[in-house]
């Protein structure tokens, strides 16, 4: 599991860095403006579908079923689901192409999208290609080919970056961006097809009928994942009415925070879903419980380190990454403030993500859906202060509040107690957490006393402290795990 997690983390690391470079290119080209809002909206649909299909409902529904089937059955199921996905998302693509204003006005009622056939057509065609890549990625994950699936984000972002590199005038920027989205979606799926096992293309006479339980699991898991992802989408839609650049500033902050989340947490969840699905399929519930508790503790320790160092050095990171092109001092300050707030939601994302993985592996997708609906029902209440005051800061607070509400609810239904043995906060985990807090406090204190003005020096110091905070306490925690019964 460690080897799979490391390989997936490396792939996600490269992909997220390419994604961050994509956001930096957008910031340099558009700054925080109306055009920046439109550019973000063009990327919303493929980004939303990637998260929904790869790390959301599709994987949660398919991986437990793949674990129960023999290779021929998995291949037949893959072919059937791919065909259904192509039809469904093909219809959605047609709707986007025919009614682009309606679709994008739902996503951002305060932004006028320029209706250009090339722009709209390219984004629409990318939708079924992204769906097919999601199905193929779930199949590859079931076959323990995590690295290939993890490289999908890298491939997509590199294609978008190449398109942005070709921009020579502001009038061409949005058109080239949409073409980059289409090419990225196509190349990502093509690479996955090249590494599919040969049995996928054999035995076409064998079919796998999509039965009721699988369809219900898929619908529940997909809807739950969509509702989870809907919170920041709804907040961005509200932000479109706040003023120019609100969508872009929220997006830049969220993308900056998503980088460590994807590298350190999402990779654990992705591997855990495949592993837990197999353990539950083999009725090894005790081992599955040990695995879940251990992964949850690792994720929380990593989250703690990210939050502490992020709060102390967020301004330096924003300055280094975004301080160029159209990004002035006021724009950098906006992104920094939003980033610090978004960091507070990382532990909640870690807890809820792994709790959802456990419930999905047990095929309790209906439970995930009900708790997600309850969490989302509270979002309007959380967002009310931001709506009344027109504050993007309070809107980001609403997103973090939603994440914590969801984490509390998911932890409760997954029976992850903080008190009993193998709990989230047992003695080895607490000792490691204290060491991480101490190292982060020392790094922050040195930064405060020295008053360094060079952001590159501050980032270097933060990186050294972060590496130390992870290496020593996490290794100490791992050695103590067998003593805690967590082998």
Band of the pLDDT at 223, cuts 50, 70, 90? low
Residue 145 to residue 132: CA distance in whole angstroms: 17
- What is the model's pLDDT at position 343? 92
- What is the model's pLDDT at position 482? 46
- What is the model's pLDDT at position 344? 93
- What is the model's pLDDT at position 229? 67
Band of the pLDDT at 420, cuts 50, 70, 90? very low
Please determine, for residue 241, whether its predicted confidence score (pLDDT) is greater than 50.
yes
- What is the model's pLDDT at position 487? 34
Collapsed DSSP state (helix, strand, coil) of residue 292 = helix
Please determine, for residue 461, whether its predicted confidence score (pLDDT) is greater than 50.
yes
Give the range with max mean pLDDT: 94-103, 293-302, 396-405: 396-405
For residues 77 and 69, the answer to whether their CB atoms sit within 8 Å is: yes
Instruction: Tell me the average pLDDT across 85-111.
Output: 76
- What is the model's pLDDT at position 404? 92
Give the range with max mean pLDDT: 41-55, 196-210, 460-474: 460-474
Residue 122 to residue 179: CA distance in whole angstroms: 6
For residues 174 and 186, the answer to whether their CB atoms sit within 8 Å is: no
Count Cβ atoms below 10 Å from residue 441 Cβ, excluding itself.
Answer: 13
- pLDDT tens per residue, range 323-335: 766 677 888 888 8
> CA-CA distances (angstroms) from residue 53 to 11, 138, 143, 485?
18, 8, 17, 35
Beta strands in 301-448 (DSSP E): none
- pLDDT tens per residue, range 29-81: 777 777 777 777 777 776 666 555 544 556 566 666 676 677 777 788 888 87
Residue 271 to residue 291: CA distance in whole angstroms: 11
- What is the model's pLDDT at position 112? 64
- Between residues 428 and 124, which one has the greater pLDDT? 124
Please determine, for residue 419, whether its predicted confidence score (pLDDT) is greater than 50.
no
Q: How many CA atoms lie within 13 A of 448 on its CB side?
A: 9
The model carries a pTM of 0.66
Count Cβ atoms below 10 Å from residue 182 Cβ, excluding itself.
Answer: 22
Return all residues near 328 (Cβ < 8 A) that are at least 6 apart: 31
DSSP 69-92: S-HHHHHHHHHHHHHHHHHHHHHH
Please determine, for residue 294, whether its predicted confidence score (pLDDT) is greater than 50.
yes
For residues 460 and 328, the answer to whether their CB atoms sit within 8 Å is: no
> CA-CA distances (angstroms) from residue 452 to 27, 319, 436, 455?
26, 13, 23, 8
What is the rounded end-to-end Cα distance, in angstroms, of the chain?
Answer: 13
Please determine, for residue 469, whether its predicted confidence score (pLDDT) is greater than 90.
no
DSSP 48-66: HHHHHHHTTHHHHHHHHHH
Most distant pair of Cα atoms in the chain: their distance: 72
Residue with token string 């040990």:
290
- pLDDT tens per residue, range 341-363: 999 999 998 888 888 888 877 87
Residue 461 to residue 320: CA distance in whole angstroms: 14
**Of the ranges 63-67, 85-89, 162-166, which one carries the lowest mean pLDDT score?**
63-67
> CA-CA distances (angstroms) from residue 85 to 81, 88, 307?
6, 5, 38
Residue with token string 């339980």:
213
- The average confidence (pLDDT) of the chain is 77
Instruction: Classify residue 423 as left (phi > 0), alpha (psi -120 to 50) or beta.
Output: beta
Instruction: Read off the tokens for 169.
Output: 């005038």
Band of the pLDDT at 484, cuts 50, 70, 90? very low
Residue 137 to residue 394: CA distance in whole angstroms: 36
Instruction: Read off the tokens for 338.
Output: 């939003």
For residues 229 and 21, the answer to whether their CB atoms sit within 8 Å is: no
**Percent of the chain scoring above 70 in pLDDT:** 74
- Between residues 192 and 106, which one has the greater pLDDT? 192
Count Cβ atoms below 10 Å from residue 326 Cβ, excluding itself.
Answer: 15
- Between residues 217 and 363, which one has the greater pLDDT? 363
- What is the model's pLDDT at position 341? 93
Burial 219-241 (b: 16+ CB within 10 A, else e): ebbbbbbbbbbbbbbbbbbbbbe
Please determine, for residue 225, whether its predicted confidence score (pLDDT) is greater than 80.
no
- pLDDT tens per residue, range 305-320: 899 998 988 888 888 8
Return all residues near 299 (Cβ < 8 A) that are at least 6 apart: 264, 265, 268, 269, 350, 351, 353, 354
Angle at 5 between CA 261 and CA 355, to 5 degrees: 60
Residue 477 to residue 302: CA distance in whole angstroms: 12
Residue (of 270, 328, 213) closest to 50 by Cα position: 270
Residue 461 to residue 443: CA distance in whole angstroms: 7
What are the structural domain ranges in the chain? 2-484
What Rg value do the Cα atoms of the chain yield, rounded? 22
Instruction: Classify residue 391 as left (phi > 0), alpha (psi -120 to 50) or beta.
Output: beta
Please determine, for residue 121, whether its predicted confidence score (pLDDT) is greater than 70.
yes
Residue 195 to residue 201: CA distance in whole angstroms: 12
Q: How many CA atoms lie within 13 A of 482 on its CB side?
A: 2
Count Cβ atoms below 10 Å from residue 169 Cβ, excluding itself.
Answer: 6
For residues 393 and 246, the answer to whether their CB atoms sit within 8 Å is: no
């Amino acid at each position: 599991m460690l080897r799979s997690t490391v390989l997936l983390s490396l792939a996600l690391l490269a992909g997220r860095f390419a994604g961050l470079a994509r956001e930096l290119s957008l910031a340099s080209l558009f700054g925080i403006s109306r055009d920046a809002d439109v550019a973000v909206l063009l990327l919303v649909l493929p980004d939303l579908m990637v998260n929904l299909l790869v790390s959301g409902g599709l994987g949660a529904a398919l991986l437990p079923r793949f674990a129960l089937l023999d290779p021929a059955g998995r291949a037949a199921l893959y072919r059937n689901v791919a065909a259904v996905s192509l039809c469904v998302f093909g219809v959605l693509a047609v709707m986007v192409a025919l009614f682009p204003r309606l679709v994008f006005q739902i996503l951002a009622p305060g932004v006028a999208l320029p209706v250009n056939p090339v722009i709209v057509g390219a984004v629409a065609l990318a939708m079924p290609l992204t769906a097919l890549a999601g199905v193929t990625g779930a199949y590859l994950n079931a076959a323990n080919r995590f690295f290939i699936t993890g490289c999908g984000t890298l491939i997509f972002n590199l294609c978008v970056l190449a398109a942005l590199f070709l921009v020579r005038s502001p009038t061409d920027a949005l058109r080239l961006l949409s073409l980059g989205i289409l090419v990225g979606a196509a190349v990502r799926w093509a690479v996955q097809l090249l590494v599919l096992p040969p049995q996928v293309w054999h035995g076409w006479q064998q079919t796998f009928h999509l039965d009721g339980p699988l369809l219900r699991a898929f619908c529940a898991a997909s809807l739950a994942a969509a509702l989870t992802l809907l919170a920041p989408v709804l907040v961005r839609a509200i932000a479109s009415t706040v003023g120019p650049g609100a969508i872009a500033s929220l997006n830049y902050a969220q993308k900056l925070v998503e980088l460590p989340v994807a590298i350190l947490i999402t990779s654990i969840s992705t591997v855990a879903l495949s592993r837990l699905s197999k353990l539950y399929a083999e009725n090894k519930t005790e081992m599955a419980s040990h695995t879940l508790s251990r992964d949850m503790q690792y994720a929380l320790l990593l989250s703690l380190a990210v939050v502490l160092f992020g709060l102390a050095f967020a301004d330096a990171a924003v300055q280094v990454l975004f301080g160029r092109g159209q990004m002035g001092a006021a724009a950098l300050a906006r992104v920094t403030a939003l980033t610090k707030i978004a960091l507070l939601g990382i532990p909640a994302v870690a807890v809820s993500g792994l709790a959802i993985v456990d419930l999905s592996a047990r095929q309790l997708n209906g439970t995930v859906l009900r708790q997600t609906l309850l969490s989302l029902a509270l979002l309007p209440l959380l967002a009310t202060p931001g709506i009344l005051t027109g504050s993007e800061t309070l809107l980001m607070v609403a997103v973090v509040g939603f994440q914590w509400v969801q984490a509390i609810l998911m932890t409760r239904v997954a029976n992850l107690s903080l008190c009993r043995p193998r709990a989230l906060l047992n003695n080895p985990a607490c000792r490691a957490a204290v060491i991480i807090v101490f190292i982060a406090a020392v790094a922050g204190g040195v930064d405060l006393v020295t008053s360094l003005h060079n952001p590159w020096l501050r980032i270097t110091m933060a990186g050294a402290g972060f590496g130390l905070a992870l290496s020593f306490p996490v290794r100490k925690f791992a050695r103590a795990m067998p003593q805690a019964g967590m082998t």
